[in-house]
Amino acid sequence: MNNFTYYNPTKMIFGKDTISQIGKQIKEQGINKVLLLYGKGSVIKNGVYDKVVESLKSSGVQHVDFSGVKPNPVLSTVKEAIKAMKDNSVEAILALGGGSVIDSAKAAAAGFYYEGDVWDLFERKAMVNKALPIFTVLTISATGSEMNSGGVITNEAENKKWSFGSPLLYPKVSIIDPTIQFTLPENQTVNGAVDTLSHVFELYFDGTRNTDMMDELSEGIIRTMMKHVKILLKDKENYESRCEFTWSSTLALNGMNGTGRVGDWSSHQIEHSLSAFYDISHGAGLAIVFPAWMKYVQHCHVEKFERFAERIFDIKEGSPEEKGIKAIEKLKEFYKEIGAPISLKEVEIPREDLNKLAENAALLSPIGSMKKLYKEDILKILELCYE
């Protein structure tokens, strides 16, 4: 196990009928005016917007609306939000949505106090020294952004989908009411499951050894998510399964699961290149990239893939290598079963683009900790994505 520092001060309020608490929570922090950030209006349809506005009003918190955050959120929106925040002298941001909205809120919260171009924070040209307080009401469980300090934004002018973070960006309070996700389209539930599993895989299959306790936690999240996403695809209003889904999704990337290990994150980097160029959802991209990456790096830690095979898919027969290979196949079967794509063919990304994609993903190369990957490795992994 590696040395680590763990710190996560987000207050998480979870369960049925909890959204009405948001106004009081914000007011308790001495905040009187917030930017209300959301996407393209699903929060109006599902009633979250009205509940939040009512709660803000009854607590005496003013709000300024800012809508239109897109999936795979872009830098230009962040900049517009920062302008709106300054123009209206808000004291905090309240994000209503999933990872796209919350990540945009984080970038805007940091950019609010930064005098240069907010993209500098992604290029590591500057650090976050101060940020507006962030509050969230989660409507799609996937990225874990509701309880961590990082985010991912696309600089659309430069085709860079990059991450950034700072301990100053933990949401002060996040609310998860799982019933809100009853009305999610099926593919968003699937993408959320794949995204969650991918976060766990990034942490579980890394270069670190001797991580028993965290491996147990990871395996628990994987089994819970795999079980309950299948229930939800048949019974989308199953409250208990929504609870298991949403909470395990948060736990996958709230820092705890990463304690004592470094994570790999090369599959995310490769996927970010896909969604920087194509209109493909992050979850779909990860479902394609991760099994290919696993095949490519399995030889680097055969015992870990064997453990994965035994503990997740109950595979007991065969050599350690064979078990790992079977487990990767089982994972692809699972993705197919829940309706996630498993090949770049399915999402119609042409082979002649692979070089460009590999180059993009390798901008910060080498990437990864299980195996350090350079452009030629990434190209081979992308080739495996056509199988």
Contacts with its own copies, residue ranges (CB under 8 A):
1-18, 210, 212-213, 216-217, 219-221, 223-224, 227-228, 240, 243-244, 247-248, 251, 256, 259-260
Residue 177 or 377 with smaller CB distance to its own copies? 177
Question: What tokens were used for 112?
Answer: 């609010």
* Cβ neighbours for 122, distance < 8 A, ≥ 6 positions apart: 153, 155, 160, 162, 163, 164
Q: What is the dihedral of CA 252, 257, 258, 263, to 10 degrees?
A: -50
CB 199: neighbour CB atoms within 10 A?
Answer: 27
Nearest approach, Cβ of residue 185 and its own copies (Å): 24
Nearest Cα residue to 370 out of 291, 217, 257, 262: 262
Nearest Cα residue to 345 out of 353, 334, 337, 356: 353
Q: Is 95 helix (H, G, I), strand (E, B) or coil?
A: strand
* Cβ neighbours for 154, distance < 8 A, ≥ 6 positions apart: 72, 73, 74, 75, 160, 161, 162, 275, 276
Residue 215 or 306 with smaller CB distance to its own copies? 215
Residue 4 or 374 with smaller CB distance to its own copies? 4
Residue 16 or 124 with smaller CB distance to its own copies? 16
Residue 228 or 332 with smaller CB distance to its own copies? 228
Nearest approach, Cβ of residue 52 and its own copies (Å): 18
Residue 136 or 275 with smaller CB distance to its own copies? 136
Nearest approach, Cβ of residue 299 and its own copies (Å): 24
Nearest approach, Cβ of residue 210 and its own copies (Å): 4
Residue 33 or 227 with smaller CB distance to its own copies? 227
Nearest approach, Cβ of residue 157 and its own copies (Å): 38
Q: Which residues of 262-287 are buried (b: 16+ CB within 10 A; e: fewer)?
A: ebbbbbbbbbbbbbbebebbbbbbbb
Residue 52 or 274 with smaller CB distance to its own copies? 52
Nearest approach, Cβ of residue 212 and its own copies (Å): 5
CB 263 within 8 A of CB 198: no
* Cβ neighbours for 302, distance < 8 A, ≥ 6 positions apart: 320, 321, 324
CB 229 within 8 A of CB 249: no
Residue 2 or 76 with smaller CB distance to its own copies? 2
Q: What are phi and psi of 174, to 5 degrees?
A: -125, 140
CB 172 within 8 A of CB 106: no
Nearest approach, Cβ of residue 241 and its own copies (Å): 9
Nearest approach, Cβ of residue 311 and its own copies (Å): 10
DSSP-derived secondary structure for 105-167: HHHHHHHTT-SS-GGGGTTTSS-------EEEEESS-SS-GGGSSEEEEEETTTTEEEEEE-G
